[in-house]
């Protein structure tokens, strides 16, 4: 399994743990982590708006989930096109 996939699955598990914590409260740290993740990724969407212009909805959702990892992927594909 590649490093990129391991990182993506780890991020998905972190998001999952945060949302499960909303349904079955375990600790407040996960609530603060969820707030931090949502705010940080929303700021990334604002900062990197020009890069996510194409396919706005898909790229917005991917940046909200994976953050800068997805933006790096967009940069990579843009570099290959040129």
Distance CA 71, CA 41 (A): 11
Do 41 and 19 form a contact (C-beta atoms < 8 A)? no
**Whole-number average pLDDT of the chain:** 91
Looking at per-residue pLDDT, the higher value among 68 and 82 belongs to 68
pTM: 0.83
pLDDT tens digits for 41-62?
999 999 999 888 888 899 999 9
Res. 14: pLDDT tops 80: yes
- What is the distance between the alpha carbons of residues 58 and 51, in angstroms, rounded to a whole number? 12
Q: Which pLDDT score is estimated for 35?
A: 95
Predicted pLDDT of residue 19: 94
């Amino acid at each position: 399994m590649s490093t990129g996939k391991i990182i993506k699955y780890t991020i998905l598990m972190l998001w999952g743990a945060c949302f499960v914590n909303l349904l079955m409260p375990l600790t407040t740290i996960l609530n603060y982590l969820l707030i931090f993740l949502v705010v940080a990724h929303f700021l990334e969407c604002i900062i990197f708006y020009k890069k996510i212009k194409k396919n706005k909805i898909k790229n917005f959702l991917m940046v909200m989930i994976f953050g800068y990892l997805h933006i790096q992927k967009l940069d990579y594909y843009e570099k290959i096109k040129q």
